[in-house]
């Protein structure tokens, strides 16, 4: 089975009707919320902040895709696009990991409201775990539940156990936006519990383009590798997947995280559960990384396919390498499928596409259970 491990599912102002919510995502004022710790930046189940929609890259995306402003019309359009790109053909990608995106928390474990333009701290996007679990439950043949729980929540470990028991196949973090210090005792407690449960962590290290880099101290992969060294010595290292192979936004930028990660994958962590996904590499700025990684088959067993949808792929800078296959691949309507076909044609090993099906837990959690015929 081929799985896309990195697929975002975000709307602009979506207040979904989700009957079965996680205990830590109850609506404000609900009776259940008063019995537990409830930390949400908004009552929307998925939204983009005012600060984010006023950034130049979001404005450019809206102009390029001819999207309406945030609201009901945009969310209808986004729903149509999700169906068009993720709901059609199953070749070669058969399943998509839809990613929740938990609330940003400060160092004291508090969650601020959604930021406005000029605010220094807060969520640029938010997508509840309850929404993603509901979508996956209604589409078990297509989607897998990618959870997101901030480790600074007062009940973070309990929340991790709750989402895992509800079918989560991984946990998504962006430390430089979420404000997650991997050396913090609360983060370490979550990492150890994830190791015990067998729940992988999809973590973004290195530069970030789409969301505000509001915590640059958490950008580098170096502390992540040092923590994993410590946890490995304790025999409590969880499976970790580094998003985008820790590449920089532009090939000549970066903080060295990409090179550190490649050295770790081929060296100290060659036999450890450390991996990376190649999501967003089929784009114009990152295509040099894509070409170089395609030519390094000795690390392909450490790579997983991901698309980073809805980031649009661009094949222009690899057109020559695709040769006669270019026209057919460029004509594929689904962006993730187009990216997967391009990576195959560029020479990535089949293990890159099939590894996730063996690595992720709960892959068949939402699949209909076979019933035995009566005796």
Q: How many domains does the structure of the chain reveal?
A: 1
Which structural domain, as residue segments, surrounds residue 45?
Answer: 3-359
Residue 366 lies in a domain: no
Residue 345 lies in a domain: yes
- Give the model's pLDDT for residue 31: 42
- Give the model's pLDDT for residue 34: 37
Residue 245 lies in a domain: yes
Give the closest residue to 247 by CA, choosing from 214, 218, 280, 273: 280
Residue 343 lies in a domain: yes
Give the closest residue to 148 by CA, choosing from 122, 123, 174: 174
Q: What is the pTM of this model?
A: 0.93
Residue 115 lies in a domain: yes
CATH number at residue 230: 3.20.20.140
Buried b (16+ CB within 10 A) or exposed e, 72-104: eebbebbeeebeebbeeeeebbebbbbbbbbbb
- Cα three-residue angle 308-196-202, rounded to 5 degrees: 10
Distance separating alpha carbons of residues 351 and 303, to the nearest angstrom: 8
Residues 100/147, Cβ–Cβ less than 8 Å: yes
**Sheet-wide strand order for 168-173:** 3-8, 95-99, 143-147, 168-173, 201-204, 240-243, 274-277, 303-304
Phi, psi of 240 (to 5 degrees): -125, 130
Residue 50 lies in a domain: yes
Residue 370 lies in a domain: no
Give the closest residue to 28 by CA, choosing from 38, 20, 17: 38
Q: Six-digit token pair at 96?
A: 């998509």
Give the closest residue to 1 by CA, choosing from 69, 97, 116: 97
Residues 203/170, Cβ–Cβ less than 8 Å: no
Distance separating alpha carbons of residues 9 and 58, to the nearest angstrom: 16
pLDDT tens, N- to C-terminus, the chain (375 residues): 999 999 999 999 999 888 899 999 987 654 444 334 446 889 899 999 999 888 877 777 777 777 888 899 999 999 999 999 999 888 899 999 999 999 999 999 999 999 998 899 999 999 999 999 999 999 999 999 999 999 999 999 999 999 999 999 999 999 999 999 999 999 999 999 999 999 999 999 988 878 889 999 999 999 999 999 999 999 999 999 999 999 998 766 677 999 999 999 999 999 999 999 999 999 999 999 999 999 999 999 999 999 999 999 999 999 999 999 999 999 999 999 999 999 999 999 999 999 999 999 999 999 876 444 454
Residue 173 lies in a domain: yes
Distance separating alpha carbons of residues 172 and 155, to the nearest angstrom: 17
- Give the model's pLDDT for residue 371: 44
Instruction: Report the DSSP pairing between strands 46-48 and 13-14.
Output: antiparallel
């Amino acid at each position: 089975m081929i799985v896309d491990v990195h697929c975002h599912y975000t709307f602009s102002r979506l207040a979904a009707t989700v009957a079965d919510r996680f205990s830590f995502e109850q609506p404000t004022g609900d009776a259940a919320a008063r019995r537990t710790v409830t930390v949400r930046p908004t009552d929307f189940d998925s939204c983009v902040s005012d600060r984010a929609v006023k950034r130049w890259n979001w404005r450019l995306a809206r102009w390029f895709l001819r999207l309406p402003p945030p609201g009901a019309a945009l969310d209808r359009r986004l729903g149509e696009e999700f169906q068009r790109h993720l709901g059609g053909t199953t070749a070669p990608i058969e399943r998509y990991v839809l990613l929740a995106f938990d609330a940003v928390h400060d160092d004291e474990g508090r969650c601020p409201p959604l930021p406005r333009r000029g605010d220094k701290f807060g969520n640029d996007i938010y997508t509840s775990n309850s929404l993603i679990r509901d979508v996956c439950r209604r589409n078990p043949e297509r989607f897998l539940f990618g959870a997101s729980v901030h480790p600074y929540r007062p009940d973070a470990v309990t929340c991790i156990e709750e989402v895992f028991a509800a079918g989560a196949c991984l946990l998504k973090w962006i430390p430089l936006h979420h404000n997650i210090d991997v050396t913090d005792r609360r983060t370490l407690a979550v990492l150890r519990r994830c190791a015990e449960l067998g729940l992988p962590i999809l973590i973004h290290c290195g530069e970030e383009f789409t969301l505000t880099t509001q915590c640059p101290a958490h950008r580098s992969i170096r502390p992540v590798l040092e923590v994993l060294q410590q946890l490995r010595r304790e025999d409590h290292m969880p499976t970790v997947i580094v998003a985008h192979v820790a590449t920089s936004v532009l090939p000549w930028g970066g903080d060295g995280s990409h090179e550190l990660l490649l050295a770790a994958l081929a060296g100290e962590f060659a036999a450890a559960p450390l991996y990376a996904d190649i999501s967003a590499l089929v784009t114009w700025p990152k295509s040099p990384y894509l070409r170089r990684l395609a030519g390094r088959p000795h690390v392909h067993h450490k790579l997983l396919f991901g698309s980073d949808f809805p980031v649009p792929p661009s094949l222009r800078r690899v057109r020559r390498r695709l040769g006669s296959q270019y026209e057919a691949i460029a004509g594929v309507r689904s962006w993730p499928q187009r990216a997967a076909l391009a990576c195959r044609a560029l020479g990535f090993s089949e293990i890159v596409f099939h590894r996730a099906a063996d690595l992720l837990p709960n892959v068949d959690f939402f699949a209909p259970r076979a019933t035995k015929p009566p005796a």
